[in-house]
Amino acid sequence: MGEAFEGKLPEKFEERMRALLREEYGAFAESYKRERTLGLRLNILKVDPEVFFREFGDDFGLRPVPWCREGFYYDKEARPGRHPFHEAGVYYIQEPSAMAAVALLDPRPGERVLDLCGAPGGKSTHAGGRMMGQGLLISNEIHPARVKILSRNIERMGIKNAVVTNEEPARLADYFPEFFDKIVVDAPCSGEGMFRKDESARKEWSPENVRLCAKRQTEILESAAKMLRPGGRLLYSTCTFSPEEDEVQIEGFLERHGEFFVVKVPENVRPAELSPGRGEWGTKRSPALSDTFRIWPHLSEGEGHFMALLEKEAPKDSLKTSKEKPKKKQANQRQDKEVKKAQKLFAEFIEEAADAKELPGLGRLLLFGDQLYCIPREMPDFDGLRVIRPGLHLGTVKKGRFEPSHALALALKGCQVKKAIRLEPEGRELFDYLSGKALEADDDGRGWVVVCAGDYPAGWGKLAGGLVKNHYPKGLRLPL
């Protein structure tokens, strides 16, 4: 459990919630006196949740989150954010109620998925895990500082098929008309569900800000609607209780877009802890709003979330599917000597360092300067887009040799690595490595090795003369 809330709620917020919740308000207000719950979501690209729970459940005080099969509550004393497993991308620290959004959308391998408001990366990395490295994930964030955080989290979690962009939603909509199978819109909101853990959310809240957020959300949803293919699904979510940003927002969207409807999730599939949306909170008391979802701090173990799963009807005579070729042409690979040389050097490196059968194919390798990337095959030509991360960064080609990237190490599984040094997850040697120190080795060989936290790759080292030179990125190193 986390710490209890000790601040004061905004007075006008209390008035609004008292009027909305009526007899439930007392229980809602009382929930702020309890310790908040803390959560982590296991990265299924790297670990089987059942195996991890069996081996480390007691160490972290794990309890399952009912609406997310890879999600767990943890004890605050465990401090998983400071454990080497965090640096190795074994899990993502995420507020439990936020895990419900992607769980409801349920992205599948091979689909084209867009996370339109992606930072800091919780929902993008969740979607990337569910996609199992297959298909295309575009994770977008409009704010330059936040998009860097998003890109780092995509890297840490070892997601191979993601492209990170820094664009306005309207510009993406012009570029990707009816392109995506599934879209996540975790909309910027007034953050009422964050009050218990975020003092700035409480200080910045006002009725005026609620209205500004609702206006911005409407614009974002309009762009998302243009990018969803017929038959595709859109998950809209907020971490706020405001009807203007939730039920009223969805009601207005449905009135403007008759081709959309709210998906009714069968009760035997929906966890009981997900409360139905407040149909009476729409301006017209729409029954469809009762098929939306809410997580309440006084009814379940979560800070608060609203979700609406929408589907775009496909015309009866339409044959459009997610397998249709992109409207934009595929990015052209520069077939010159530099690219061919880079491909050859990378192929030689992979043959020596890892099991090539499990790694990204070499068909979409692109060279940007001296940096080699593997681009998702379904990514159209991204000329003109602000792309922060065009795919999986494989490494650097210089002076006739290939140097692997940190991202490549984190994209590997322990079983794929031919040369590895496996260190105890909580041992001194691993802490020394993450701090930038060289390691002693019994091996007199030479070449690149993956340093692992237990079975999970954490970064590269270079073996020579019984020592492993440290190649853990300087910007990520732990303080000594």
Annotated catalytic residue 239: yes
Question: pLDDT digit string (tens) for 258-270?
Answer: 999 999 998 777 8
pLDDT digits (tens, 9 = 90+) for 332-345: 444 577 888 898 99
Q: Which of 48, 43, 42 is nearest to 62 (CA)?
A: 42
The neighbour count for residue 64, using CB atoms within 10 Å, is 14
Strands of 371-374's sheet, edge to edge?
A: 365-368, 371-374, 392-398, 401-404
Q: What's the half-sphere exposure (Cβ side, CA atoms, 13 Å) at 248?
A: 13
Query: Which residue out of 68, 117, 189, 239 is catalytically annotated?
Result: 239
Average pLDDT, the chain: 91
DSSP strand pairing (456-464 vs 467-470)? antiparallel
pTM of the model: 0.94
Tell me the pLDDT tens digit for each residue of 15-63. Answer: 999 999 999 999 999 999 899 999 999 999 999 999 999 999 999 999 9
Residue 181 vs residues 95, 131, 217, 256, 378: alpha-carbon distances, Å: 26, 12, 21, 21, 12
Give residue 353's pLDDT: 85
Query: In Å, how far from its chain's centre is CA 235?
Result: 14
User: How far is the C-alpha of 196 from the C-alpha of 303, rounded, in Å?
Assistant: 8
Query: Residue 324 has what pLDDT?
Result: 46
79-120 residue pLDDT tens: 999 999 999 999 999 999 999 999 999 999 999 999 999 999
pLDDT < 50 positions in the chain: 319-334
